[in-house]
Amino acid sequence: MLTIDKFCYLSKLRYKNASEKFAFALITLLFCVISRSAAVSGIVLLAAGILTVRKGGIPLFRYLRFLLVPLAFLLLSTVAIFVNISRTPLDLFALPVGGFYLTGSRAAAADGVKLILTAMASVSCLYFLTFNTPMPDILNVLAKLHCPKLLIELMLLIYRFIFILLETASALSTAQASRLGNRDYRTACKSFGSLLAVLLLLAMKRSNALYDAMESRCYDGSIRVLNETCPPRAGEIAAIIGFELFLAAVWLLEVFVL
């Protein structure tokens, strides 16, 4: 089982209404993307972290480790915003390199920081949803929103095959390691290529076996999953509306006053 999937089933927010969590994550994410506000992004990042760690019971260290993954990509991708090559030095820093300057401006640095905050806040919204809501509940919400049935079934099958492929790849890797298949770099590369080739063949065989099993159980083009009903609560809905209105007020205050 994936770590994220394990956490969402152990989360204290597991039995909260999935539609409420989905609406909170989606609307908050839209606020982050549309506003591009550092203040809104900072509030969202903090609020999503508190809800996931304190209310959901997800370990803080593991949550921060998951946040470091997108942060590393963001830092590498925003180097192009911070650093410029120009003949004239800018106001933040300037390093002479031949006849040019490796330089940056305060405005570019502010835009880069704002971009990182917006992206991290958006990721934290998605983490809140994935860490606290199992996949069948998310698919149930999408069905209520009249998402195409074919798309939902494909998502469910792909989600299921992630675990099958990981389990198969882990077994093949263990078998290779027990036969000294990773004793040096050259052998490790050869073993990795063999693993991918065998994994492709096994994936095809298992997909055919899965379809045969579904056909033998009277598969009629629709996969039915038993969903646990968690009724919405007025207090939680009011809290979500209040938080979104607070974000809107912060955004408007930043736009029209500051």
* Domains of the chain, residue spans: 1-134+230-258, 148-227
Q: What SS3 class is residue 97?
A: strand
Quick check: 9 and 134 in contact, CB under 8 A? Answer: yes
The pLDDT of residue 217: 78
Q: How much is the pLDDT for 48?
A: 92
Token pair of 44, please? 């969202």
Strand partners, 85: 102
Q: What is the pLDDT along the chain (258 residues), one digit of tens a residue?
A: 567 778 888 888 888 888 899 999 999 999 888 888 888 999 999 999 999 998 888 888 888 888 888 888 888 877 777 777 767 766 666 677 777 777 777 777 777 888 888 989 999 999 999 898 888 888 888 888 888 888 888 888 888 777 778 778 888 888 877 877 777 778 878 887 888 888 888 878 877 887 788 778 777 767 777 676 778 888 889 999 999 999 999 888 887 776
Q: In DSSP terms, which residues pair with 97 in a beta bridge?
A: 100
pLDDT computed for residue 45 by the predictor: 92
- Spatial separation of the C-alpha atoms in residues 209 and 212, rounded to whole Å: 5
Token readout for 173 is: 């890797």
Q: Is the CB of residue 37 less than 8 Å from the CB of residue 254?
A: yes
pLDDT of residue 146: 85
Distances (CA, A) of 101 to 76, 80, 112, 123: 20, 14, 20, 35
Question: Considering the entire predicted model, what is its pTM?
Answer: 0.80
pLDDT of residue 24: 93
Percent helix / strand / coil, the chain, rounded to 5: 75, 5, 20
Check residue 79 and give its pLDDT. Answer: 75
| Residue 14, helix vs strand vs coil | coil
